[in-house]
Amino acid sequence: MSSVMPTPLQETNFSWLGKRYEGKVRDSYVRGDTRVLIATDRLSAFDRVITTVPGKGQVLTQLAQYWFARCSSVVENHVLSVPDPCVMIGREVSIIPVEVVVRGYVAGSAWRDYVAGNCVSGVKLPAGLHQFEKLPRPVITPSTKEAFGKHDMPISESEIVSRNIVSASLWDRVREAALKLFELGTKELEGRGLLFADTKYEFGVLDGRLVLADEIHTLDSSRFWVASSYEERVRHGDSPEMLDKEPIRRWLMERNFKGDGPLPAIPDEYRMHLMRHYTDSFKMITGSDCVIDTSEPVARIETNLRSYFKNGCDWHA
Give dist(CA 180, CA 71) in Å, integer.
9
DSSP 8-state assignment for residue 17: G
Average pLDDT over residues 292-306: 96
The tally of domains found in the chain comes to: 1
Does any domain span residue 249? no
Does any domain span residue 264? no
Query: What's the confidence (pLDDT) of residue 283?
Result: 96
Does any domain span residue 250? no
Helical segments of 84-133, H only:
108-115
Percent composition of the chain: helix, strand, coil (DSSP 3-state, to 5): 35, 25, 40
- pLDDT digit string, tens, across residues 254-289: 999 988 999 999 999 999 999 999 999 999 999 999
Among residues 37, 17, 84, the alpha carbon closest in space to that of 301 is found at 84
Query: What's the confidence (pLDDT) of residue 28?
Result: 96
Q: What is the CATH number of the domain that holds 190?
A: 3.30.470.20
Burial zone of 174 (CB within 10 Å; 0-12 exposed, 13-18 middle, 19+ buried): buried
Average pLDDT over residues 277-304: 95
Whole-prediction pTM: 0.90
Give dist(CA 71, CA 124) in Å, integer.
30
Chain centroid to Cα 99, Å, comes to 10
Give dist(CA 289, CA 313) in Å, integer.
29
Does any domain span residue 179? yes
Crossing angle of helices 246-254 and 268-286, rounded to 10°: 160
Q: In whole numbers, what is the pLDDT of the chain averaged over residues?
A: 92
**Torsion 298-299-303-304 (CA) sign:** negative
Does any domain span residue 316? no
Query: What's the confidence (pLDDT) of residue 232?
Result: 87
Secondary element (H or E) of residue 26: strand 26-31
Does any domain span residue 119? yes
Average pLDDT over residues 64-91: 97
- pLDDT digit string, tens, across residues 14-52: 999 999 999 889 999 997 789 999 999 999 998 899 999
Range of the domain at 174: 95-235
The answer to whether 203 and 100 have CB atoms below 8 angstroms apart is yes
Does any domain span residue 230? yes
CA trace torsion 191, 71, 181, 213 (10° rounding): 140
Does any domain span residue 54? no
The answer for 189, left when phi > 0, alpha when psi is -120 to 50, beta otherwise, is alpha
Query: What's the confidence (pLDDT) of residue 266?
Result: 92
